[in-house]
Structure 1
Amino acid sequence: MAESTTQTQSVDPTTLDGFEQLTAIVEGRLPAAPIATTLGFAGMSVPERGSAIFELDPELRHYNPIGSVHGGVYATLLDSACGCAVHSTLAVGEGYTSLDLNVKFLRAVTVDSGRLRAVGTVLQRGRRTALAEAKLYDARGRLVAHATSSCMIFS
């Protein structure tokens, strides 16, 4: 994944639709969001419009005091997958913001869980709002968390 400090080609994101913007980030032509560097995201992909995938290798720095990955790390991965799934549907000149994020934690995650994979999908995209969901899986393919997010679309 391209880091925000990586040298990027001259691309004007205002001339691209949401899918093209995210593709430019994946290809390193636009910088990644700083949160990707802060948390150490291991990868991002946008396989098609309405879908986004984020990956992270759990580390001890992600732990909470009870000895597992902090729920905020789960939530950030899920929020990123939901939000970027919606982002990938935007037309040139459109923006969005999250209105809510509802997360269900299903299983504890530790460094032994292996690479986490958050898969986001748009469930419904209207003119003014979108509903997305994301599922978070561990390296063995077990569902560890689920989220839904409502987003407001604006010009």
Structure 2
Amino acid sequence: MRAQHPDDRAPRETMLSMSGLAFMRAMLEGRVPPPPIARVIGYRLAEVAEGRVVFAGAPGPDHTNPAGTVHGGWYGTLLDSAMACAVMTRVPKGSLYTTLEYKVNIVRPIPPGTEIAAVGTVSHAGRSTGVAEGVIRGVADGKLYATGSTTCLIMEAS
């Protein structure tokens, strides 16, 4: 399998030609490529349902800070992806979304190499905004590592 190049992401027209839920399902099924950030950060799409998305991954040595613990940006990226993509599952065909703001609360450090699931769940999806919550839990032990919340802007493509 060849390495993914940033230009390998799905064209914008492809995304706009289907609902957000259909697009996320196409990604899960491998019909559209994952975003390049997933390769860099080391996570993959694991589940998709309307209003809910799960990403799985494990932080490695390249994701640690000078103290040797997993960098807070790794938690933030996983939660932003899970929460915002959960909102995406509620976005209609011909529309886009973007993160307006998000917050992360780290509960405990994730030991490098620990497989986690980042779950995003929508609590509101309207015409112009979407709100979601997220958690990062250990796959093997169910430990809570972080929580988050987001507000996304939903807009018609122009």
Matched ranges for 1:96-135 at <5 A: 96-111=97-112, 114-135=114-135
Root-mean-square deviation (CA, aligned residues, Å) is 2.1
Q: TM-score if structure 1 supplies the norm length?
A: 0.89
What is the one-letter code of the residue matched to 1:147?
G
2:59 aligned partner: 58
Count of equivalent residues: 150
* Structure 1 CA distance for aligned equivalents of residues 24 and 4 of structure 2: 13
What is the one-letter code of the residue matched to 2:61?
L
Contact 1:4 1:32 in 2 (8 A): no
Return the offset for 1:15: 1.9
Task: Return closer, same or farther for 1:103/1:57 CA change in 2, 3 Å cut-off.
Answer: same
| Structure 1 stretches lacking a partner, 5+ long | none
Contact 1:117 1:137 in 2 (8 A): yes
* CA deviations over 1:16-64 (Å, ceiling 9, x no partner): 11011111111111111000011121x3134311100111112111111
1:39 aligned partner: 41
Contact 2:28 2:48 in 1 (8 A): no
Return the offset for 1:13: 3.1
Identity level (%): 35
Q: TM-score if structure 2 supplies the norm length?
A: 0.87
DSSP 3-state at the match of 1:47: strand
| Structure 2 stretches lacking a partner, 5+ long | none
2:155 aligned partner: 154
Contact 1:22 1:46 in 2 (8 A): no
1:138 aligned partner: 138
Return the offset for 1:89: 0.6
Return the offset for 1:128: 1.1
